[in-house]
């Protein structure tokens, strides 16, 4: 068993070497979809990092009318907190809002003086509501539009963030669709190339195959080297992909830090912490693809 496996591996290596240029071309065409998939994985990670980053910064600010008491505002806060879509709510009382305003304009005596002219606190209480997910904000906004709350609320804002997020989502969706399309096209080309490489390999080894059959080699011994050759293609393609992906990540990481100032987009760490899932999955995928293509070629061209 192990002897036969070892010899099948030896013959696979011979085939690989004898059609070296064809092997190189095949591997190159396997690297293209692999790199495309890694670009998609990277884009997915960037998208998640950006949306998470923005999500952290996003909240719905609810400004109550000046006449609304802190108790009324707290009642609204308690009701909002009960919503499953809400992560937390920061409450700022009327006095708290006044204190913040004074603190922010401490260096502007004119404003502070005009504030003192007023007989009562002009500020209403405010709520800063954070949702569980970015997509939960519209739900919260809809609840706040209830007339029972509407007459207490002076203003609420969220719209600007929503536009930004939907823009990011749209851009990422388009980029992803394009990337998936490119990966599929590369994948189909790779399948055709693998089938053709194995066909040529079968043709160039027709003498050996004939002799193998004549001297009583089992059918799996004849087919085995071609399947091992396919796995070798996948292994080398995966190694080259790693050699492309990691230097590229090292190169673009500083630019990402500058590009998304304030949002932590650490692609290198993402790929490192998901190494087995990403590259193991990709290897399994490409090995499956090449083995299936090889099986098709063997079935079509190798008579055992």
Partner 1 sequence: MISLKNVTKIYPPNTVALKELTLSIKPGEFVSIVGQSGTGKSTLVKLLIAEERATRGSLEIGGWNITHLSAREVPILRRQIGVVFQDFKLLPQLTAYENVAFALEVAGATSERIRQIVPQVLQIVGLDKQVSRYPRQLSGGEQQRVVIARALAHRPKIIIADEPTGNLDTLNSREIVDVLKKINSFGTTILLVTHNRDIVNLLRRRVIALEDGQVISDHEVGKYVL
Residues near partner 1, by CB under 8 A: 3-4, 7, 207-208, 210-219, 221, 304
Report the nearest approach of partner 1 to the CB of residue 203 (Å): 15
CB 15 within 8 A of CB 205: yes
- Dig out the tokens for 6 from the structure: 């070892």
Kindly tell me which of 118 and 215 has the beta carbon lying closer to partner 1.
Answer: 215
Report the nearest approach of partner 1 to the CB of residue 290 (Å): 24
Kindly tell me which of 62 and 212 has the beta carbon lying closer to partner 1.
Answer: 212
3-state DSSP call for residue 159? helix
Kindly tell me which of 10 and 269 has the beta carbon lying closer to partner 1.
Answer: 10
Report the nearest approach of partner 1 to the CB of residue 224 (Å): 10
Nearest partner of 267 among 277, 279, 276, 255, judged by Cα: 255
Rounded Cα distance between 221 and 130, Å, is: 64
Kindly tell me which of 181 and 218 has the beta carbon lying closer to partner 1.
Answer: 218
Kindly tell me which of 70 and 208 has the beta carbon lying closer to partner 1.
Answer: 208
Report the nearest approach of partner 1 to the CB of residue 17 (Å): 11
Report the nearest approach of partner 1 to the CB of residue 173 (Å): 52
Question: DSSP of 231-290, one letter per residue?
Answer: HHHHHHHHHHHHHHHHHHHHHHHHHHHHHTTTS---HHHHHHHTHIIIIIHHHHHHHHHH
Q: For the chain, where are the alpha helices, taking DSSP H only?
A: 2-18, 20-57, 70-81, 94-104, 109-117, 137-144, 147-150, 159-204, 206-214, 219-259, 267-273, 275, 281-301
3-state DSSP call for residue 124? coil
Residue whose structure tokens are 């509407």: 150
Kindly tell me which of 210 and 247 has the beta carbon lying closer to partner 1.
Answer: 210
Report the nearest approach of partner 1 to the CB of residue 195 (Å): 23
Nearest partner of 144 among 71, 58, 59, judged by Cα: 59
- Dig out the tokens for 239 from the structure: 């190694």
């Amino acid at each position: 068993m192990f002897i036969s496996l070892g010899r099948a591996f030896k013959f696979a290596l011979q085939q690989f070497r004898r059609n070296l240029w064809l092997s190189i071309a095949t591997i190159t065409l396997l690297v293209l979809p692999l790199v495309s998939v890694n670009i998609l994985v990277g884009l997915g990670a960037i998208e998640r990092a950006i949306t998470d980053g923005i999500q952290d910064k996003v909240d719905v600010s609810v400004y109550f009318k000046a006449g609304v008491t802190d108790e009324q505002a707290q009642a609204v806060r308690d009701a909002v907190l009960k919503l499953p879509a809400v992560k937390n709510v920061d409450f700022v009382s009327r006095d708290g809002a006044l204190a913040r305003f004074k603190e922010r304009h401490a260096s502007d005596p004119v404003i502070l003086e005009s504030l003192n002219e007023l007989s009562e606190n002009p500020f209403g209480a405010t709520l800063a509501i954070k949702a569980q997910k970015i997509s939960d904000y519209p739900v919260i906004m809809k609840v706040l539009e209830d007339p029972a709350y509407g007459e207490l609320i002076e203003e609420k804002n969220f719209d600007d963030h929503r536009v930004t997020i939907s823009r990011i989502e749209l851009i990422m969706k388009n980029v992803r669709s394009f990337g998936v399309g490119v990966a599929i096209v590369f994948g189909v080309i790779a399948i055709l190339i693998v089938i053709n490489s194995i066909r040529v390999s079968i043709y160039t080894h027709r003498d050996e195959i004939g002799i193998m059959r004549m001297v009583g080699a089992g059918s799996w011994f004849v087919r085995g080297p071609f399947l091992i050759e396919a796995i070798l293609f996948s292994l080398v393609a995966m190694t080259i992909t790693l050699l492309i992906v990691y230097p590229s990540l090292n190169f673009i990481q500083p630019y990402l830090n500058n590009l998304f100032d304030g949002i932590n987009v650490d692609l290198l760490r993402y790929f490192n912490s998901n190494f087995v899932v990403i590259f193991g999955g990709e290897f399994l995928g490409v090995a499956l693809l090449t083995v299936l293509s090889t099986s098709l070629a063997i079935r079509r061209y190798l008579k055992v």
